[in-house]
């Protein structure tokens, strides 16, 4: 790149044009990055373009007013913007360990992770969380306080009662990212966990945000009212960054991992922390390290250059180590509704591990790279973790898009996303087993069959190899153990562990088994209601006969219809085979046969006055062996309604069926009220 830059700079106007081009490109990428939009370039590409721009500016002396080297992008066009009390300035970056040591000088410093997510600013007043704002432009961000119950590790109440401002990173683990992304439609898939975290926090639905398991990791205490605070019996000096972090931990925050050291310990510390990433110990995405001074007073006394505070901290980015290799083939892997290309190349050593494959994402990315049969690919491990092809050399630019799905062999089609213009390949068979990855993942989950070792990546691999087509096939994997042992990432011990986990799942509670079946609208709570009400055997019998479950309290007509429709469409022979592989335990209905209301079904509607609420009323009926249903039917013994003469739909139906309608007082006269 240096040679290219020298040539460009010497041409004067060409250098100015390139500067303007880079400023526009980088600002556009930053707007998207900080504003929660799509990632239009990787960290590697951004750093490379930024370094090129900085070198051009140094050589020519031309620095545009909107250059990202002196300004952070401002996505202020977004709605619901709120100014930060303390500007969230970015840190200066370096790839030089010597520069870190020089910056540290003689002072005590702290080393911590530079987490790769979305920065949030939390404010507390009087011990209560008052607002959550995204970093945004650093000057203003988006208020997302409405998501306070949906983001993990954010305490709503804390012991400290003063005014306090905290910054931290909202992240999604690689494990959760793989699981979530594999179940998304192509137009909404994310390139990495950071994008998924950012996109998730732009949603308006707290329930959906909560499902995606976004976690908050506090990385600095920005400001508070006191120089020292007492939490419990411990006194904390707030002029020390380390003690500030200790205090946050005491208040219930998950605080970023950190290590105290001086300049002479930086080399060893960087090596140790880098090894954690190289060896795959980090499930939380990181894109570097950060050092900061322990002395808060000294750190706050620095100047501001561009959008960096000179003493706020210094970020360390790992040098990207690349390797060249020869492309062997392009493998097409089906996952959910997409068939994705994977580059298979001659094994190379990168960051301490052997790498021989890297996702090519989609057809558009293949075209951008210019990949072709037998070409030379340049590979890095993005953030020292994810293999990525960054360039292609000596390419014919010819590749073949398969016309048949690698899993079910149905025809494929190329689709162009209306959302992003991206070209992706799809199987047109709606029943392709690769499209049921989400179901397989739920089946093996802890709430389901609890089969440890069957990650979503492993499930995808087995589906693509044709080992798994149905739930029952998981218990037939022993026929493929010899082949699995020879697969990359497996071996004798891995297969033995997998066998142990599968065998251990053969004995399963009825509630967990029903949940694992992936019946629409039947989660753990609904499964528990079914088992307690009628037992597992009766559940199977009603599925077979088509008898409704709506009499069961909490199930109702919609859930009942979904359960019956699921059974009607399922492969009966595979379902029966699955039942042969497992032993169902705890499948008996709740026994209240000696209760005074045993065998009676009640429907309770309207307001109550003697019982605290309808939940207490229902609990009393349950304790006496009776059942409470949500709708009136011929099985209903009594409809309880304090407005006996009401013309409500339930009263009308009860009269049509000849069901007695009684008041709450009449119920108590007949059956009592308990303690």
Q: How many angstroms separate the CA atoms of 434 and 94, rounded?
A: 43
SS (H, E, C) 104-149: HCCCCEEEEEEECCEEEEEEEECCEEEEEEECCCCCEEEECHHHCC
Q: How many angstroms separate the CA atoms of 433 and 410, rounded?
A: 11
For residue 304, how many other CB atoms are within 10 A of its CB?
12
Q: How many angstroms separate the CA atoms of 26 and 140, rounded?
A: 20
Please count the CA atoms within 13 angstroms of the CA of 369 that sit on its side-chain side. 29
Helix (H) or strand (E) holding 156: none
Which among 459, 458, 461, 411 has a CA at the least distance from the CA of 432? Answer: 411
For residue 79, how many other CB atoms are within 10 A of its CB?
6
Beta carbons within 8 Å of 550's beta carbon, 6+ residues apart: 556, 557, 559, 560, 629, 630, 631, 633
Please count the CA atoms within 13 angstroms of the CA of 18 that sit on its side-chain side. 23
Residue 205, token pair as written in the block: 């639905």
Q: How many angstroms separate the CA atoms of 500 and 498, rounded?
A: 5
Which among 331, 308, 275 has a CA at the least distance from the CA of 91? Answer: 308
114 part of the active site: yes
The DSSP output letter for 17 is H
Helix (H) or strand (E) holding 115: strand 109-115
Asked if residues 212 and 180 have their Cβ atoms less than 8 Å apart, the reply is yes
Partner residues linked to 78 by β-bridges: none
Beta carbons within 8 Å of 385's beta carbon, 6+ residues apart: 174, 277, 280, 282, 285
Q: How many angstroms separate the CA atoms of 46 and 30, rounded?
A: 9
Residue 106, token pair as written in the block: 């003689």
Asked if residues 258 and 249 have their Cβ atoms less than 8 Å apart, the reply is no
Please count the CA atoms within 13 angstroms of the CA of 8 that sit on its side-chain side. 20
Asked if residues 395 and 372 have their Cβ atoms less than 8 Å apart, the reply is yes
Question: What burial class does residue 656 get, using C-beta atoms within 10 Å of its C-beta: 0-12 exposed, 13-18 middle, 19+ buried?
Answer: exposed
The DSSP output letter for 632 is -
Asked if residues 269 and 261 have their Cβ atoms less than 8 Å apart, the reply is yes
Residue 313, token pair as written in the block: 């901290």
The DSSP output letter for 157 is B
Which among 515, 511, 482 has a CA at the least distance from the CA of 499? Answer: 482
Residue 405, token pair as written in the block: 């799905």
Partner residues linked to 131 by β-bridges: 123
Plot region of 105 (φ>0 → left; ψ -120 to 50 → alpha; else → beta): left
Catalytic residue among 101, 114, 461, 627: 114
Asked if residues 291 and 273 have their Cβ atoms less than 8 Å apart, the reply is no
Residue 503, token pair as written in the block: 């065998």
Q: How many angstroms separate the CA atoms of 151 and 278, rounded?
A: 29
For 630, phi then psi, to 5°, come to -90, -15
Q: How many angstroms separate the CA atoms of 401 and 425, rounded?
A: 8
The residues carrying an active-site annotation are: 114
């Amino acid at each position: 790149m240096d040679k290219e830059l020298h040539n460009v700079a010497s041409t004067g106007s060409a250098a100015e044009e390139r500067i303007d081009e880079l400023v526009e490109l980088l600002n556009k990428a930053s707007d998207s990055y900080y504003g929660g939009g799509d990632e239009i370039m990787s960290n590697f590409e951004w750093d490379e373009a930024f370094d090129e721009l900085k070198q051009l500016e140094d050589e020519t002396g031309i620095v545009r007013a909107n250059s990202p080297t002196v300004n952070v992008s401002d996505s202020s066009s977004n709605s619901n913007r709120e100014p930060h009390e303390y500007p969230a300035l970015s840190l200066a970056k370096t790839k030089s360990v010597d520069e870190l040591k020089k910056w540290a000088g003689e002072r005590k410093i702290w080393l911590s992770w530079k987490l790769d997510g979305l920065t949030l600013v939390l404010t507390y007043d009087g011990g209560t969380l008052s607002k959550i704002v995204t970093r945004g432009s650093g000057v203003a961000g988006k208020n997302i306080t409405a998501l306070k119950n949906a983001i993990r590790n954010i305490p709503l109440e804390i012991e400290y009662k003063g005014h306090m401002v905290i910054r931290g990173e909202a992240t999604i683990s690689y494990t959760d990212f793989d699981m979530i992304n594999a179940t998304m439609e192509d137009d909404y898939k994310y390139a990495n966990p950071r994008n998924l975290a950012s996109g998730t926090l732009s949603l308006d639905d707290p329930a959906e945000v909560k499902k995606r398991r976004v976690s908050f990791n506090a990385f600095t205490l920005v400001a508070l009212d006191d120089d020292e605070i007492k939490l419990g019996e411990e006194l904390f000096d707030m002029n020390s960054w380390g003690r500030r972090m200790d205090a946050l931990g005491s208040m219930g925050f998950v605080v970023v991992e950190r290590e105290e050291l001086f300049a002479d310990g930086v080399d060893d510390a960087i090596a140790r922390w880098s090894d954690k990433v190289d060896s795959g110990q980090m499930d939380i995405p990181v894109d570097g390290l950060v050092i900061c001074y322990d002395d808060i007073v000294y750190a706050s006394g620095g100047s501001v250059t561009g959008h960096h505070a000179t003493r706020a901290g210094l970020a360390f980015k790992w040098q990207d180590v690349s390797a060249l290799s020869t492309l062997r083939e392009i493998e097409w892997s089906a996952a959910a509704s997409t068939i994705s290309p994977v580059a298979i190349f001659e094994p190379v050593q990168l960051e301490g591990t052997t790498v021989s494959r890297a996702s090519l994402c989609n057809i558009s990315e293949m075209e951008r790279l210019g990949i072709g049969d037998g070409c030379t690919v340049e590979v890095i491990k993005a953030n020292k973790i994810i293999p990525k092809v960054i360039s292609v050399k000596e390419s014919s630019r010819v590749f073949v898009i398969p016309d048949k799905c690698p899993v079910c062999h149905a025809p494929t089609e190329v689709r162009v996303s209306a959302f992003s213009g991206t070209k992706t390949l799809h199987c047109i068979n709606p029943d392709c087993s690769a499209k049921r990855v989400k179901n397989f993942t739920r089946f093996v989950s802890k709430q389901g069959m609890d089969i440890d070792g069957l990650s979503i990546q492993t499930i995808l691999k087995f589906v693509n190899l044709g080992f798994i087509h149905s739930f029952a096939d998981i218990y037939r994997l022993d026929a493929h153990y010899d082949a699995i042992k020879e697969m990359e990432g497996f071996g004798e011990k891995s297969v033995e562990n997998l066998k142990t986990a599968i065998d251990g799942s053969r004995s399963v509670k009825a509630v967990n088994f029903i949940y694992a079946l992936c019946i629409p609208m039947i989660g753990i709570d609904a499964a528990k209601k079914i088992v307690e009400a009628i037992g597992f055997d009766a559940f199977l019998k009603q599925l077979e006969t088509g008898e409704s479950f709506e009499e069961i309290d909490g199930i109702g007509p919609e859930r009942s219809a979904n359960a019956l429709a699921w059974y009607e469409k399922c492969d009966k022979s595979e379902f029966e085979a699955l039942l042969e592989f497992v032993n169902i335990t705890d499948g008996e209905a709740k026994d209240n046969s000696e209760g005074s209301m045993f065998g009676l079904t009640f429907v309770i509607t309207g307001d109550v006055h003697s019982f605290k609420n309808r939940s207490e009323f229902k609990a009393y009926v349950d304790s006496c062996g009776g059942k409470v249903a949500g709708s009136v039917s011929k099985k209903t013994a009594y409809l309880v309604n304090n407005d006996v003469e009401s013309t409500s739909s339930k009263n009308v139906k009860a009269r049509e069926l000849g069901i007695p309608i009684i008041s709450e007082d009449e119920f108590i006269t007949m059956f009592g009220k308990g303690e």
